[in-house]
């Protein structure tokens, strides 16, 4: 990527360390499971902080296939919406994990565009209970987002919210690597 693109993406992609339930954006993304009926990790934190209304809406959605995304309102959260996506469970890497993880990011971004949302925050999808190696997963997350933003001009900001220092450093490293900072 040419040097002149650095500033452009620096404005549109941010990496922060924190709790995604506290982030005020148009939509936060939930790393959900196929049932959309709640789980542990970031999913549990979102339902706990957002209240029962989110689960109520989720119950009417009939689940979500891996790699796809569905949207609900955000209950008591500071964001306006929650985009629920389902990343792959990592089973060694030869089970379409890469493609499914890419599609989870892409379909979340597409759904944001479709709903006219401008700012979106992602957790590190699949790298918790679903055990996707974070080095690979962070590369897919950033690559997919950069490619998407190259062809889309309506989304103003994508924020990756990492829960641990280690995860934060890995994502930051990948983004810096990509733009030779
Ligand atoms: P998955 O099942 O897709 O692996 P998890 O929720 O188990 O999803 O983990 C995804 C990532 O979300 C992990 O890196 C985990 O540390 C992180 N996480 C957990 N709680 C939060 C939170 N409140 N905000 C942001 N990230 C979180």
Q: pLDDT band at residue 11, thresholds of 50, 70 and 90?
A: confident
pLDDT tens for 85-139 read 999 999 999 999 999 999 999 999 999 999 999 999 999 999 999 999 999 999 9
User: How distant is the alpha carbon of residue 87 from its chain centre?
Assistant: 10
User: How distant is the alpha carbon of residue 108 from its chain centre?
Assistant: 7
pLDDT at res. 87: 98
pLDDT tens for 46-81 read 999 999 999 999 999 999 999 999 999 999 999 999
Q: For a ligand 1 pocket test, name from 19, 123, 141 the mutation site with the most ligand atoms within 8 angstroms of its C-beta.
A: 123
Using alpha carbons, list the distances in angstroms from residue 181 to 6, 107, 173.
9, 29, 9
For the residues of 21-50, what is the DSSP string, one character each?
A: GG--SSEEEEE--TT-S--SHHHHHHHHHH
Mean pLDDT, to the nearest integer, of 130-154? 97
| Residue 165: pLDDT over 90 | yes
**CATH tag, 13-179:** 3.40.220.10
First-to-last alpha carbon distance for the chain, in angstroms, is 12
Q: For a ligand 1 pocket test, name from 34, 124, 167 the mutation site with the most ligand atoms within 8 angstroms of its C-beta.
A: 124
Ligand 1 midpoint to CA 85 (Å): 13
pLDDT at res. 153: 93
pLDDT at res. 178: 86
Pocket lining for ligand 1, CB < 6 angstroms: 19-21, 31, 41-43, 45, 87, 123-130, 161, 163, 167
| Residue 4: pLDDT over 80 | no
Q: pLDDT band at residue 5, thresholds of 50, 70 and 90?
A: low
Helices (H), the chain: 4-12, 41-50, 52-59, 97-114, 134-151, 165-178
Using alpha carbons, list the distances in angstroms from residue 167 to 15, 26, 145.
10, 24, 17
Tell me if 82 sits within 8 A of 21, measured CB to CB.
Answer: no
Using alpha carbons, list the distances in angstroms from residue 20 to 61, 91, 151, 154, 159.
23, 26, 26, 22, 10
Q: pLDDT band at residue 9, thresholds of 50, 70 and 90?
A: confident
């Amino acid at each position: 990527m040419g040097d002149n693109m650095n500033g452009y993406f620096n404005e549109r992609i941010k990496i922060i360390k924190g709790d995604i339930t506290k982030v005020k954006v148009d939509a936060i993304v939930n790393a959900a499971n196929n049932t959309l009926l709640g789980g542990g990790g970031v999913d549990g934190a979102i339902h706990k902080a957002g209240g029962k209304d989110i689960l109520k809406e989720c119950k009417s959605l009939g689940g979500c296939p891996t790699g796809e995304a569905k949207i609900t309102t955000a209950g008591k959260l500071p964001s306006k919406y929650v985009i629920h996506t389902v990343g792959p469970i990592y089973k060694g890497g030869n089970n379409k994990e890469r493609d499914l993880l890419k599609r989870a990011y892409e379909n979340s971004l597409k759904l944001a565009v479709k709903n006219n949302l401008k700012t979106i925050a992602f957790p590190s999808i699949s790298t918790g209970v679903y055990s996707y190696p974070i080095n690979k997963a962070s590369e897919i997350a950033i690559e997919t987002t950069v490619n998407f933003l190259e062809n889309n001009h309506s989304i103003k900001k994508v924020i990756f919210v990492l829960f641990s220092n280690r995860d934060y450093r890995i994502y930051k490293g990948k983004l810096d690597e990509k733009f030779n900072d």
